[in-house]
Each structure stands twice: as C-alpha cells, then as structure tokens.
Amino acid sequence: MDFKSITVKTYIEGLRAGACSAVEAVETYLANISARDEVLHAYLETYGEEACAAAARVDEEARERNNPKPLLGVPVALKDNMLVAGHRTTAGSKILASYTASYDATVVKKLRDAGAVIMGKTNLDEFAMGSSTENSAFGPTKNPHDISRVPGGSSGGSAVAVAADMALVALGSDTGGSIRQPAAFCGVVGLKPTYGAVSRHGLIAMASSLDQIGPFGKTVEDIEAVFNVIHGGDPLDATSLPAGQVGMSDQLRVTDDKLKNEKVLCIGIPREYFGEGLAPEVTKAMDTVITRFEELGFKTKEISLPHTKYALSVYYLVMPAEVSANLARFDGVRYARIPEAQEAKTLRDIYELQRGYGFGAEAQRRILLGTFVLSAGYYDAYYAKAQKVRTLIARDFDNAFKEVDVILGPTTPTPAFKFGEKTQDPVQMYLSDIFTIPANLAGIPAISIPVEKYNSPVGGESGSPAGGLPIAFQLMAPHFREEDLFALGREYDKAYRK
C-alpha cells in the first residue's frame, strides 16, 4: 500500500482486507520520522516500541472480520499539551520539561478505544501561544513545503506530521486559529469544532473559554472520521456537551439531503474578510474557490460581520486574562521545579526563579498583559468591555446564519511567512490570526481546507512546490453544525482535490 496517498478510509479497508498491516504502517511512519524529522522537528517524542506493540495487537484484532473500531490501526500524532499517562507532557515549555502525566486525556482514551495507535507528541508554541511554532522552548518546527518558512502555530508540529507523512492524522488545539492556521500553511485540512463539542479534560489549558481540541488530516473525510470518535460529553469536563447535540441530527440530515439533491445550501461571503491586508495571491485563490462552489451549484451571498474589526483587540484582552489565571499553577510547588529554582531559599525566590527562567518571552508577555487587564481600576475599562464586544461578535454570526447556512473566507491573510519575519513585532504576528479568531470568540465550528491538493515535497529540500505555497479557505457554520462543514468540504474535495 502507498502510505503517501492513503486516507483513513482506504487504510482501514486495506487493513481489513489484508492488503497491509498496522505494523507495516507504523514502521513506515517511524521510518519517515527518522528520515525527515531531524530537519522538520515536528515531534518532541515518539513512542516507537509502544506504537509497534499496539500495532501488533491491532493486526490480531483486524483478523476479526467484523471488527467495529472506527480508527482501527490509524497512526495518530498528538500535540504535546495533551496528557498521555506515563509520558512527558511539556506544552512546549521549559517549565514542564520534566513533567510526566499520570493519566490519559479524554481524547486520548477515546482514540485508543477506537483502535488508533499513538505515534508520539508533536512540537508547539509554548503553552500554545503563537502563530509560527517559533516560541517552543525546544526549537522551531519547519514547513515541509519550504524549510525557510514557518509551519504556522501553535499546533505546527501536528500539521507538519500529517503534511510530511509522519502520521496519518493528528490532534491539535485551537484557541484563536492554532489548528486552522498551521493547516493552511502546510496544505492539510484542520477543524476547530464547536466549543464544548470535544472534551478538554487532560488538555493543558491556555484560555479556557476559547480552547478546543480538533483534528488534522489530508482530506475532509479523514477529519470527519476522527471527529466522530473524539466528540461528545464528558463528566470530567463541565463545558462539554452530550454527543446527541453534536454532529448528525435530524435537522442536519435534511441539510445533507438538500446538499446532495438540490444544492440549495447558501454560502455567505463576509465583505470584512476581503479587504485591506489580504495578499493578492490569497484574494485570487478565494475568487477561485467561490467560483468553484457556484459551479457545483451552491448559492453565494455577500454578508456583513460588522464587529469583525474588533475581534483581534477583544481576543488579546480576553485570552491573556485567562492565561494569567491558568498559568498561575506553574509555581514550582505543585509541578516539577526547574534547575534554576532548585536552590531557592524562600517561597518568593521559588516563584521568581521558576517563572522568570521557566516561561519564555511570549508566555511572560501574555501573563503580564492578562494580569494588568484584570487588575483593580482596569478590569472594567478593558476586560469587561472586551467581553461585551465579544457578545456583539457572536451576535453578528447569529444574524448572518439567519440568511446563510455557512460562511466562507480566507483562513489566513498570507501564505506561510519566513522565520524571523514577524518575531520582532508581536502585533504583526498576532495579525496572522485575524480571520480565525472570530470563530473562537463566538464558539462556532470552522474548518480550513486547502484550495489545491499539495503532495508532500522531498524531505529537507528547500523551495516551495510547483504552483507556490499552500493557500486555504475557511468554512464556518452555526453551533454544532459540523456536518454542514463536512458535507460542503467533501463535495469540494471530490471535485477539486482528488
């Protein structure tokens, strides 16, 4: 079997038919990691022996003709902010470099129960804070299409693992675009589910009202297969919702029938997503995508999301405030102490040395900003006002979805940028997420899909592939309408990304 061209569906079919084995698949991906990851640095840790042993068990199960496991033998990479019992979980930070998880995150347990094989942990911006994976304490990850360029962030390692054939699918977390933006830069598909659709138990929190775990894959069908396994309620996460409220409902089945038979589903085009700051090649690609959907028989309609212009400002007040609260726990007392704080004499010394040397520059910047906006005298002026505008942004989407079924726009304003290009100007870096942040503020699902199908380039070779760097479009839907995104995405994949 050609492991460069397989999908989740074709792999599982091949496994059950005896055309390949799970051990063969895992060994192929491990060989790819060995050959390519010294340059790309997608992984922080691989579970070679453990993955091979799990694959051997899968091969025994595959001999059972009617094995129902939906991800039987599928090799999966995990962003290193999700706990795997008995393994290191660093969140890309020096402050957790020696922390070993004592339990599996809920998504990890669900993957294992579905038959998936965990390949290892992938690199990320420290505590998921960044848009380029340049902020990892363990070094940057490189874009497989051009190693002089960033893979996006913060889930850059997971996106690269899929794009470079080092895992069939992967999980990341998305707080303001951290799945969709690296998916766009690396030419793969990435989904941010509805807030509450997937349990966050066992995910190291960055901003709890925004974080959401989601999958990467090569096709929309791959994403759907993983989502169908990981979504659903969890008694260990009070923000998660029961499976019956997510995915396929009676209403969605009607929508899917209409999609197949009448093509009446209407796509909204927000004028605010097509203005100043959009690279010419992205504008051209979006025009192509809109034309293609119209050729497929879908209606398009221009809409307005008037408070979009405030989304970036709102996000960089709400998110740092939650970061300030969530990262307070890493104080050198409850988790492993870093070497620089070992000789501390007082509690104050422990705090100062642990946090001063343990957190990187971007984490410190966001903690300081968040603490400031929550402080007496500034809470009402900044944080409370930002929450009110966040409500207006969510209301914009509610109003838009009265007119259209889904919303289409660019995932990012530019293709992947070069290393160091934006690190000296944090605001320019933050602008990379300008089109992805609104979906997180509103809690709605959104998926990033490449405009074209990009084949993985030769490992370690600099230079972008023929046709330039990957460019992606984004589809957004009302809460718990992931199936609408999958239905549209499957149609696009079938017609234009074969």
Q: Which residues are catalytic?
A: 79, 154, 178
Distance in angstroms (rounded) separating the CA atoms of residues 148 and 419? 6
Distance in angstroms (rounded) separating the CA atoms of residues 21 and 27? 10
392 vs 306, 395, 431, CA distance in Å?
9, 5, 20
**CA neighbor of 444 nearest in space, from 326, 254, 282, 305:** 305
Distance in angstroms (rounded) separating the CA atoms of residues 45 and 378? 42
CA angle at 255 for the pair 249 and 261, rounded to the nearest 5°: 135
Determine how β-strand 117-122 pairs with β-strand 299-303. unpaired
CB atoms within 10 A of CB 86: 12
Burial class (CB in 10 A: 0-12, 13-18, 19+), 396: buried
CB 219 within 8 A of CB 189: yes
Residues 6+ apart with CB under 8 A from 376: none
